A = this chain, B = another copy of it.
């Protein structure tokens, strides 16, 4: 650790109360994108905060919630972008919170509030890291761009278009993603890719009204029709049968697969959490992590006809399923949608309506990217541990809109740990994680 780093660390530790106050201030403002509660007020508050830190910013209108862009000029030519979001998940169920979700509670060790981790605390840690750099060096070694959206918890329907239309403003050489976390045992980690997603509803409408099941020999049954359409999509080994579905799947390299070998055991964890004795196709051990390179076709829900207690003898007129496809590099949700439509059509399911509820593209950053190395080195300095690096996560994010469109690496160091309860009651951050995460991000800025 050099002298500059010592100064950075001291600045962060000394000023921690200010940043706790800022997290509290942001989290006191509800900003639930799924209901719209407080969203515009929160966008304005983000603008204020950026200004208070001396960061020029603009609040952009979109077809959805406002997007805020802040910029600071540095000495070097390179630009580092911070992607964050100011919207939060709904706080329900309220009765499980130990203190009200939008009245932050600060203890000696932690801050409890909806958004404390996801993603308001993360955003404040970027501000704190910036302050620490300015205090230590008196100027930025690189340019910074702050990009904050307000619809991440609702599928980010507007971010891609915004990035496309503001590429000049956002132009960067690398990005720090919205959040990161320590694995169990305070082990720093980086997941360098996300899967894409195509989220659809399949809708079947066979009759005007339900009929008595005494006519089941002649009247069409919407539930059966949907069942048959779904049955077409996968075989019993979970292979997806849509022709061309796997065409654009890029096979993982041995290096990518082997990267997972350093990661902790997933099997015991999942077995306990979900009470299962068998994984799909009997996969076990490290294979459970490797399998993230398999794209999926998941029924998130279905419903038709009578679902109450006892019996009702009807032929359902309507049926509905929610299906999400998780897509791996280099699959394209729009291509998959076209192939699905065609597959249903040629198999006699022209009448099954597809309603698209969301789509995202997969995105990965190469494991050997210099930004990955830089992030891991900074992590080692802060945590005294090697960073676990994984090539792909099971989830999805709009990282493609930043990393993909601008062709830049994206990494996700952050201030989380394995039990922040994001999206759940009693969401919180540990103050020590805020401090360490901020130290790591300040180091990345200083050496970018």
The answer, yes or no, to whether A60 is at the interface (CB within 8 Å) is no
Decide if A301 touches B312 in the complex (CB within 8 Å).
Answer: yes
Which residues of chain B are within 8 angstroms of A310 by Cβ–Cβ distance?
34, 154, 357
> Which residues of A from 209 to 239 have beta carbons under 8 Å from B?
209, 211-221, 223-224, 227-228, 230-231, 234, 236, 238
Task: Name A's interface SS.
Answer: mixed
Is there an interface contact between B311 and A306, defined as CB atoms closer than 8 Å?
no
A395 within 8 A of B: yes
Residues of B within 8 Å of A315, CB to CB, are 298, 300
Residues in A lying within 8 Å of B, measured CB to CB: 34, 154-155, 195, 197, 199, 206-209, 211-221, 223-224, 227-228, 230-231, 234, 236, 238, 270, 273-276, 278-280, 283, 288, 291-292, 294-307, 310-317, 319-322, 324, 326, 348, 357-358, 393-396
**Would you call A298 and B213 a contact (CB within 8 A)?**
yes
User: Could you say which of B154, B206, B311 contacts A324, with CB atoms under 8 Å apart?
Assistant: B311
Cβ–Cβ contact A216 & B313, under 8 A? no
- Residue on B with the closest CB to A292? B217
For A270, list chain B residues within 8 Å (CB).
215, 218-219
Q: Distance (Å) between the CB of A104 and the closest chain B CB?
A: 26
Partner of A303, one of B227, B238, B307: B307
Taking the nearest CB of chain B, how far is it from the CB of A46, in angstroms?
A: 24
Q: Is the CB of A326 within 8 A of B214?
A: yes
Contact check, A218 vs B305: say whether CB atoms are below 8 A apart.
Answer: no
On whether A299 and B294 interact (CB within 8 A), knowing A219-B270, A274-B209, the answer reads no
Give this chain's copy count: 2
Cα distance A305–B417 when bound, in Å? 28
A397 to chain B, nearest CB (A): 10
Complex contact A313–B300 (CB within 8 A): yes
Q: Which of B215, B216, B300, B306 contacts A322 (CB 8 A)?
A: B306
Partner of A302 from B274, B294, B304, B312 at Cβ < 8 Å: B304
Enumerate chain B residues within 8 angstroms of A197, measured Cβ to Cβ.
313
- Chain B neighbourhood of A296, CB < 8 A: 213, 216-217
CA distance A310 to B221 in the complex (A): 25
Which chain B residues border A291 with CB–CB below 8 Å? 217-218
> Could you write out 15 A-B pairs with CB less than 8 Å apart?
A197-B313, A206-B276, A208-B273, A214-B393, A215-B270, A216-B296, A217-B291, A217-B294, A218-B288, A224-B299, A227-B299, A299-B304, A301-B306, A301-B316, A303-B307
| Residues of the B chain whose Cβ atoms lie less than 8 Å from the Cβ of A394 | 212, 214-217
Q: Is the CB of B276 within 8 A of A326?
A: no
Residues of B within 8 A of A316 (CB): 299-301
- Complex CA distance for A34 and B273, rounded to whole angstroms: 39
Closest CB in chain B relative to A391 CB, distance in Å? 14
Q: Contact between B326 and A300 (Cβ–Cβ < 8 Å)? A: no
Whether A218 contacts B311 by the Cβ 8 Å rule is no
Interchain CB contact under 8 A, B288 and A216: no
Taking a contact as CB atoms under 8 Å apart, the answer to whether B326 and A322 are in contact is no
A56 to B296, CA, bound (A): 70
Contact, CB under 8 Å: A298 / B230: no
Judging by beta carbons under 8 Å apart, are A313 and B324 in contact? Answer: yes
The answer to whether B279 touches A216, judged by C-beta atoms less than 8 angstroms apart, is: no
Give complex CA distance A310, B355 in Å.
10
A283: chain B residues within 8 A (beta carbon): 218
Knowing A211-B274, A274-B207, A301-B223, say if A326 contacts B216 (CB, 8 Å): yes
Q: Is the CB of B395 within 8 A of A214?
A: yes
Residue of A208, A228, A234, A274 with highest tally of chain B CB at under 10 A: A274
